[in-house]
Amino acid sequence: MTSLPYTAILLDLDGTITDSAPGITDTLAYTFAALGRQVPDADELLRYVGPPILDSFRDRAGMTLDERMRALEIYRERYLDRGAYDAVLYPGMGELVRDIAEAGIPLSLATSKPELPATLMLEHFTIAQHFTIITGASADETRSAKADVVAEALVRLRAMDADLSRPVMVGDRVHDVEGAAAHGIPTIAVRWGYGDDAEHAHAVAVADDVAALRGLLGL
């Protein structure tokens, strides 16, 4: 195990393990329509994928706190019913998650999606069992910023006596890079998600495909 470059791995979900955009953007369109608001265009809706949803309702839609909480209520009901399953695994990611587990490397999900839908999604793709722990946003969204999710993942891994001497984050958005950096953790960015090269500027490395990511993880 000492020959591997990293002793623990934190994995983002949307845009890293799964292409979740169809279910998220469809649910967002439903939410805006239910609120009597104009539905943003497809490119704008895609910008909601990745960051904490309440932050996006505030920063992108200009909603008040009450409006955001109402939007979240509508969004969650629809997403848990339909949207969470409107996603696909990126080719090779299911096998990579399995191989990380088989290599004995502690593995935590680290997503700004609440833990319930995140867990349901991983179970849907039959890969939940490969994760040491599943860490996401709290149900009340008080833990949703990526830095806070990473902090919780580290607490849970440490409680399991995981070796955290050389952890790494794997994600597709700037929120992953910055959230991990807040704890001194490097990020490997992946190009198949929803981020762009500017968002990956401070990543320790960028993987063009899953084979490249395997190499960077020493698998």
- Residue 3 lies inside a defined structural domain of this protein: no
Residues 75 and 176 in one domain: no
**The domain that contains 64 carries what CATH number?**
1.10.150.240
Residues 74 and 93 in one domain: no
pLDDT of residue 141: 79
Which residue type, as a one-letter code, is found at position 187? Answer: T
Looking at the structure of the chain, the number of domains it has is: 2
Residue 79 main-chain phi, psi, to 5 deg: -65, -45
- Residue 110 lies inside a defined structural domain of this protein: yes
In the set 12, 19, 172, 176, the catalytic residue is 12
pLDDT of residue 160: 96
Mention every residue, 6+ apart, whose C-beta is less than 8 A from residue 73.
none
Model pTM greater than 0.85?
A: yes
Residues 156 and 193 in one domain: yes
Describe the crossing of helices 115-124 and 65-81 by its angle, rounded to 10 degrees: 20
- Residue 53 lies inside a defined structural domain of this protein: yes
pLDDT of residue 84: 85
Residues 99 and 201 in one domain: yes
pLDDT of residue 1: 41
Report the half-sphere exposure of 33 (CA within 13 A, side-chain side). 9
Residues 15 and 25 in one domain: no
Domain boundary among 37, 56, 85: 85
Residues 59 and 124 in one domain: no
Range of the domain at 45: 21-85
Distance CA(73)–CA(95), nearest Å, equals 34
Q: Beta strand pairing status for 8-11 and 18-19? A: unpaired
Domain boundary among 63, 85, 107: 85
Question: Is residue 55 annotated as a catalytic residue, yes or no?
Answer: no
Residues 202 and 124 in one domain: yes
Residues 60 and 158 in one domain: no
Residues 65 and 93 in one domain: no
pLDDT of residue 51: 84
- Residue 47 lies inside a defined structural domain of this protein: yes
Name residues of the chain where pLDDT drops below 50: 1-2
- Residue 1 lies inside a defined structural domain of this protein: no
**The domain that contains 168 carries what CATH number?**
3.40.50.1000
Residues 145 and 55 in one domain: no
Residues 145 and 93 in one domain: yes
Domain boundary among 85, 102, 117: 85
Residues 101 and 164 in one domain: yes
- Residue 2 lies inside a defined structural domain of this protein: no
